[in-house]
Amino acid sequence: MVKRTLVILIVILLSIFSLASTLSMIMDVTGPFSQNFNPFFSGGTNYSARGFIYETLFYINGYTGEVVPWLATDYSWSSDFLEIDVTLRQNVKWSDGNNFSVDDVIFTFNLIKNYPALDSGGVWQKGLKEVIKVDDSQIKFVMSKVDTLIYTDLFSVYIIPKHIWETIADPTSYTDSNPVGTGPYVLGQFTSQVYTLQKNQNYWQKEKVKVDTIRIPAFTGNDAAQLALMNKEIDWGTLFFPNIDDIFVKADPKHRGYWLPEGNPVLLFFNLDKDVFKNSDFRKAIALGINKQQLVEIGMANLATVSNPVGIKGGFSYLENDNLKSMWYERDVEQAKKIFTNLGYKLGKDGLFVDSKGNKLSFELIVPAGWTDWIAVSQVLSSQLKQIGIDALVSQVDFGLYLERIKNKDFELAVSWVNYGINPYLFYERWLHSRNAFSGDNRGGWNSITTDSLLDIFRKTSDERERQLAISSLQLIGLQEIPSVPLFFNPTWFEYQTYNFVGWPNAENPYALPTITGMDKAFIIMNLEPVK
């Protein structure tokens, strides 16, 4: 037995060292794999189909927002913004050798029209009316209403081969176990504990792909995954990793790095349906009680980025209105207390404000149970608010119940997030548009006709100047009215080591967003070079 163990050990050690042209990555910590590569659904294996196996018409860079030609080479709007002409790339082949054509694209869009369950970008609901073949290299998207941001959704649909999917009886329950795509990789070997992707020899930009094989092992828990990363068994990690500097990087700073770009913003939401929060001075006073730097330092182990009061990410700082910067607020305990006093509240002996009826200003602050970093943030927040005379009781609520209570307006304060999307326009729309009130990302329920009409400008024009004017006015609303308080941006977890491959994106070279859910990972892998 000892001998066999030793033999196996040596075999394994040897195989680790002979992996030079193989890149190992952690796709998602979700347990054993099922052979499910349907690109229209979410999950570890599905994510690897997106970008590595199937591709979109354009690649929209998640960090810069740049639209990069991919399966299509060019697009143009009609003057009334109701049509987009798209030119497809020639000489693209499916991995089974068939030619990629206009018909595949039209088939894909009609498929997600007939099966709304597959339309994860909601393009047919947003006003797409028809997809027309112009000739062998051109298609025309026809819209029923003006929406100048719809291109981001149209260009993010994964194109599937007509000759295979037209024979599938029910594509919504199709696991696509042997996917045929246009992308850089094809499925190699598959077991429930590990699978490999092999370079696609028919790929249209084959010369850019220098990683021959991608190995993706299954992980059930973070502990083993972190140790595997530490053990150099993994080149590309997407793990939650507290103390990352001390534990991971310090052991070999030359070869190890991480980059935690700004993910979705986390905000403090007021339930604007409750009378007490309808007063903007009251909201302002609470906002003045918050020390965001401290929230990030203690609650997020200093691994998150503090948000400015207008919620605009660093990459888009050109959209910040400089004239409004004098209104950007900082923690100011005295000012906050003054506002409460002016509003008629009295400071009690215990340091908390009471209203005219003698009720304490005491609110429940809800946060999803088990989200340890956010819970820590909420606790720090609660102690900060106590200093301005507000009692915020942190209450951990089961995630499903948490979402339901927000939807039903059954909360007072909530720490929650907004999906940022690919640019601040989408963020503002989700955050403040009344159609997203409570049920969508507008969790506090901000409802204002002025705000809505400013937000609607984004989708009515393609003139960047007009959009910038609108977002300036919206920043003013955010600073004056304080519908909710932007706190910080959640980190996007990304770790890399350069023992086998170099060329990773990082803070010095932020060429793409290191997320694994979409096309970005394919773009990144084409920027990697094996170490000789």
Which residues, numbered 177-196, are part of the site for another protein (CB under 8 A)? Answer: 189, 191-194
Strands across the sheet with 128-135, in order? 72-77, 83-88, 138-143, 128-135
Binding of residue 507 to another protein (CB under 8 A): no
Q: How far apart are CA 66 and CA 63, in angstroms?
A: 8
Q: CB of 41: closest distance to another protein in angstroms?
A: 5
Nearer CB in complex with another protein: 172/342? 172
Q: How far apart are CA 122 and CA 130, in angstroms?
A: 14
Binding mask 332-371 toward another protein (x if CB under 8 A, else -) reads: ----------------------------------------
Nearer CB in complex with another protein: 483/514? 514
Binding of residue 375 to another protein (CB under 8 A): no
Q: How far apart are CA 24 and CA 332, in angstroms?
A: 49
Q: CB of 490: closest distance to another protein in angstroms?
A: 5
| Helix 280-288 and helix 464-481, axial crossing angle in degrees, nearest 10 | 90
Q: CB of 66: closest distance to another protein in angstroms?
A: 19
Q: How far apart are CA 454 and CA 450, in angstroms?
A: 6
Q: CB of 39: closest distance to another protein in angstroms?
A: 12
Residues that contact another protein, how many (by CB under 8 A):
71
Binding of residue 21 to another protein (CB under 8 A): no
The residue within the footprint of another protein, chosen from 20, 32, 328, 529 (CB under 8 A), is 32
**How does strand 67-69 pair with strand 58-60?**
antiparallel
User: 278-283 contacts: CB < 8 A, separation 24 or more?
Assistant: 279/343, 280/480, 280/481, 280/482, 281/339, 281/342, 281/343, 282/339, 282/340, 282/343, 283/481, 283/482, 283/483, 283/485
Nearer CB in complex with another protein: 208/435? 435
Binding of residue 323 to another protein (CB under 8 A): no
* Segment lying near another protein (by CB under 8 A), choices 2-10, 290-298, 457-465, 478-486: 2-10
Q: CB of 113: closest distance to another protein in angstroms?
A: 12
Binding of residue 19 to another protein (CB under 8 A): yes
Nearer CB in complex with another protein: 337/443? 443
Binding mask 438-467 toward another protein (x if CB under 8 A, else -) reads: --xx--------------------------
Q: CB of 170: closest distance to another protein in angstroms?
A: 9
Cα dist from 474 to 313, 422, 482, whole Å:
15, 18, 11
Instruction: Report 152-181 residues binding another protein (CB under 8 A).
Output: 153, 172-175
| SS3 category, 380 | helix
Nearer CB in complex with another protein: 336/455? 455
Instruction: Report 471-500 residues binding another protein (CB under 8 A).
Output: 490
CB 9 within 8 A of CB 25: no
CB 522 within 8 A of CB 183: yes
The residue within the footprint of another protein, chosen from 101, 423, 475, 515 (CB under 8 A), is 515
| SS3 category, 7 | helix
Q: CB of 217: closest distance to another protein in angstroms?
A: 4
Binding of residue 42 to another protein (CB under 8 A): yes
- Match 């002016």 to its residue by tokens: 342
Instruction: Report 408-427 residues binding another protein (CB under 8 A).
Output: 417, 419, 421
CB 418 within 8 A of CB 478: no
Q: CB of 447: closest distance to another protein in angstroms?
A: 18
Q: CB of 388: closest distance to another protein in angstroms?
A: 28
CB 203 within 8 A of CB 10: no
* Segment lying near another protein (by CB under 8 A), choices 72-80, 286-294, 397-405, 476-484: 397-405
Instruction: Report 98-137 residues binding another protein (CB under 8 A).
Output: 116-122, 125
* 3 state SS for 462-474: CCHHHHHHHHHHH
Helix residue ranges, H only, 192-248: 222-230, 244
Instruction: Report 208-267 residues binding another protein (CB under 8 A).
Output: 215, 217-221, 223-225, 227-228, 230-231, 233, 263-264, 266
Burial of 468-493, coded b for 16+ CB within 10 Å and e otherwise, reads eebbbebbebbbebbbbbbbbbbbbb
| SS3 category, 61 | coil
| SS3 category, 136 | coil
Instruction: Report 301-320 residues binding another protein (CB under 8 A).
Output: none
All residues at 6 or more sequence positions from 330 whose CB lies less than 8 Å from its CB, including other chains: 288
Q: CB of 443: closest distance to another protein in angstroms?
A: 12
Q: Which two tokens stand for residue 116?
A: 């709304």
Nearer CB in complex with another protein: 217/309? 217
Identify each DSSP E strand in 137-212 by its residue range: 138-143, 185-190, 194-199
The residue within the footprint of another protein, chosen from 21, 30, 323, 362 (CB under 8 A), is 30
Nearer CB in complex with another protein: 40/270? 40
